[in-house]
Amino acid sequence: MRPVDSKQVKRFINDTICHHSAPPLTPGIILQWNLPYAAYRASLVRQDNHASPFSHNPPTPQYLHVNSPDTSAGRGEISDILTPTSALIRRKTLLDRSSLLLQGRREEWLGGCNNNDRRTISDWLHDYWMHCFMTAKFWGVGPQEWTAGLISEVTTGSGVIGTPDALHSMSPFARVSILSPQETPITENPRPTDLCRWVIHHEDTTEWPTSQTSRSYQSSIQEAFTSSRFSAIAPNEVPISNEVIAEVISKSPKQLSLDSWAFAIMTGNLDLLGKLQHEAGSKPDLDFAEIHPYHLAASFVDGGNVCCLVLCYLTKALSYSYPIALKNLDSNGHTVLDALMISVLRSHTDCLPVDVSTSFIHCTRFPGEEKDICGHWDADSPAIRHLHSSGQPRVPAQWKHAFCHSSVQAICHNIMAIFLSSSAPDINAFSGLFRRRCTSCGLEMQLGPLHTLVAVAFHLAENGKNGETLFGALACLVCLLALGADPAQVADLSVLDVFSSPDEGSCGHRPMTAMELAEEVPQEIIDDWTPSCQVGWRCLVLILRHATPSPQGDSPFGKFSNRVSVCQLPGHDETWESENPNSHEDPVSYVYCAFHRSHGDYLNMAPINQNLGTLWAAIQTELHSYRKVTDLDPNISDHFQLSSLLKWLEEETDDFETPLLTEDMMQRHTPCGWFLGKQSLFGVMAPDMCSRYFMNMDIWSRASFVEEMVPGDCEREV
């Protein structure tokens, strides 16, 4: 056997290294490393016909003999043991790994590493992700520099590089923001608090303290990577060419800018978003499709701190360069509304990702799982850090809770932010969730938005948590109807395919409305639900029945019909009838609405029935005045009674006899159910809705006071 010419090998490798050209940075690479190695490995799904990136490398052929250094030697000792040729090979290997990393080919370069190298690189990059996250979250109020020791001290309660002096030199405001009572240093196996946080919109705003650093966020995270201050792992211990990566990052301002926007969105830092927009100009030259900002905001919706303000900001800031109407679908075929529904199912049910979308067939966790809608935990919470470091990628089922008012308010307000914006997408666009394909004819069955909400309500009842009432699903349904969702929209569906296993070999699908889909759920399944879920489900079905026009026009259910008491353009406060001699339908009766401009060309909002408006106003008042403060409190206040709603919907009473209405607890609202705000056409503050003080939410330790929501072009002229 002819021996290998080591000089020839060295010349070849030297030539390859000299001509090595690092690829450009692929946008979103930094965002991939939200999990440490142990949790990332556990999150992978074995795919058919795909080799595992963690499988053992094939054995060395017998005709080759490799003198490898002792694996027990330290990484610093290996460089002393390697021969010149081996050192060149190793340098070439590090360059190749860096190129694969920059291109986002994660599985390929992980497959070429041994277990120790995989763990070291993955944890090092996750440390950088956490540094970017913490820097974005507290930009303007926290430390100027987040070192590895400071991050560990704050997020896990165990310093890595001593006790950081920076933590003690913070302003009191910053220190309170970072070390909340629920996140002080804790013992092992922590779990988040069972108590929700919530948002209270108010008129006055609190400005952020002026940051003492003149650097931009983008330059800050770039410098952190170059200096490797973000990790306790020394740069020379990381088996990649981090010098090459640092150089590429320094030459990739647009890609790093996109990552900066993404971290600002995920952390809900509106001040940082404003700075990034100011730096980018009115029409940023950035390819936002790489990060799907609207879907990202919906995946990281935060009802405990900023509510709807991130999505509100984005719809206005990007209305020209990246309008939501034209960017309503992400790479998975999901709408922004779908992303909100995914957040609901992720936080409040035991559903698996594949149950919700076929696009998640190779996923074991939902997008945004490291953030809870109600503020129970965030990516930097000790409970989440310990969970992930122990190798668990998914949030345990026992951490989740019922679809509570904090979450419902956040979801409804974000729905408003989407569909009240000046560039609103089509509210009746078909959903990308619960898509199924007929096993007989091959038809892809797609749900409308109301069909999707029915499916979400089903899973809340079937796979939800203790205390579920379906009030949240009702609120979202009425919110969508108030914004113009069409209850008469039909979709070609099969109940078996949507809710259970498909019927192999036969076409069971047919065109049906959301009401018909809900009515097709077998009674034996409903009978197994809790009494509160059964009442909530019955209310949901009846709301759809009252809102859905009958093809024959002879349905006894028409309480929410769009033919009776509909708000519209007339300029007088009387009910009147449109007369169209060419129409064979009954005349439509209208009632004056102060929002008549919004029902015209201003926002193009669909006019709705006055009874539906009353229900929507009552739901909003409930959401802005009540929270379950202790474990013994009911999930819904006594002011809003589902039993009374059911009687009204079943025609047992003429009116919705609940205290919010019978005791005049609400301010005057429009026939379509909206309250007039001080800054916005759509009031979202408790004083806009409550005729007197009766809210129980002003608990300072659990409430975040944020500015009034002003969606789209809905500012009032003053």
Note whether 706 and 200 are within 8 A (CB): yes
Summarize pLDDT for 335-385 with one digit per residue, the tens: 999 999 999 999 999 999 999 999 999 899 999 999 999 888 999 999 999
User: Is pLDDT larger for residue 605 or for residue 432?
Assistant: 432
333: left (phi over 0), alpha (psi -120 to 50) or beta: left
Edge to edge, the sheet with strand 566-568 lists: 566-568, 589-592, 576-577
The DSSP-derived string for 632-649 is: TS-SS-TTS-HHHHHHHH
What pLDDT is recorded for position 193? 72
| 446: DSSP letter | -
376 with 196: CB under 8 angstroms? yes
- Among 90-94, 419-423, 542-546, 629-633, name the most confident range: 542-546
Q: Nearest CA to 16 among 67, 75, 92?
A: 92
Q: Residue 163 pLDDT more than 60?
A: no
Q: With beta carbons less than 8 A apart as the criterion, state whether 673 and 482 touch.
A: yes
Which has more confidence, 649 or 236? 649
609-628 residue pLDDT tens: 889 999 999 999 999 999 98
Q: Give per-residue pLDDT as tens, 453-490.
A: 999 999 999 999 999 999 999 999 999 999 999 999 99
More confident position, 530 or 204:
530
pLDDT at 455: 97
Q: Which is more confident, 716 or 357?
A: 357
Partners of residue 68 on adjacent β-strands: none
Residue 194 has pLDDT above 90, yes or no: no
Q: pLDDT tens across 103-141, in order?
A: 888 888 788 888 898 999 899 999 999 999 999 998 887
pLDDT number for residue 584:
44
Q: Which of 507, 515, 473 is nearest to 490 (CA)?
A: 515
Which tokens in the block code for residue 141? 């109020």
Average predicted confidence (pLDDT) for the chain: 81
Q: Is residue 666 classed as helix, strand or coil in its secondary structure? A: strand
pLDDT at 714 over 60: no
Give the pLDDT band (50/70/90) at residue 412. Answer: very high
Nearest-CA neighbor of 342 among 332, 328, 330, 356?
356
Based on the number of CB atoms within 10 Å of its own CB, is 652 exposed (0-12), middle (13-18) or buried (19 or more)? exposed
Query: What is the pLDDT at residue 111?
Result: 82
Angle at 284 between CA 278 and CA 285, to 5 degrees: 145
The SS3 assignment for 307 reads: strand
Mean pLDDT of 698-710: 70
CB 179 within 8 A of CB 662: no
Residue 249 scores a pLDDT above 60: yes
Is residue 147 over pLDDT 70?
yes
Burial class of 625 by CB neighbour count within 10 A (0 to 12, 13 to 18, 19+): buried
Look at residue 576 and tell me whether its pLDDT is greater than 60: no
Within 10 Å of residue 571's Cβ, how many Cβ atoms?
A: 6
The arithmetic mean of pLDDT across residues 47-74, rounded, is: 55
Q: State yes or no: pLDDT of 531 exceeds 70.
A: yes
Copy the structure tokens of residue 495: 């109940």
State the pLDDT confidence band at 437, using cuts at 50, 70 and 90. Answer: confident
The one-letter code for the residue type at 252 is S
Residue 58 burial (10 A CB sphere; 0-12, 13-18, 19+): exposed
Task: Please report where in the chains the tokens 């509570």 appear, as a residue.
Answer: 404
User: What mean pLDDT do residues 512-541 have?
Assistant: 96
- Give yes or no for residue 178 having a pLDDT over 50: no
Average pLDDT score over residue span 388-413: 93
Cα 466 to Cα 349: distance, rounded to the nearest angstrom = 10
CA 352 – CA 45 distance, rounded (Å)? 13
Query: Which alpha helices (H) appear in 420-579, and where do they start and end?
Result: 449-463, 471-482, 495-499, 514-519, 523-526, 531-547
The residues that bridge with 707 in the sheet, in sequence order, are: 202
Contact predicate 618/666, CB 8 Å: yes
**642 vs 627: CA distance, rounded Å:** 16
The answer to which of 35-39, 304-308, 573-577 has the lowest mean pLDDT is: 573-577
DSSP letters, 87-127, are HHHHHHHHHHHHHHHHTT-HHHHHHTS-HHHHHHHHHHHHH
- The count of other CB atoms within 10 Å of the CB of residue 366 is 21
pLDDT at 210: 56
Percentage with pLDDT > 70 across the chain? 74
Q: 698 by DSSP, 3-state: which?
A: coil
pLDDT at 72 over 80: no
Q: Which residue has the higher pLDDT, 667 or 10?
A: 667
Phi, psi torsion values for 335, nearest 5 degrees:
-80, 170
Q: Is 684 helix (H, G, I), strand (E, B) or coil?
A: coil
- pLDDT for 579 beyond 50: no
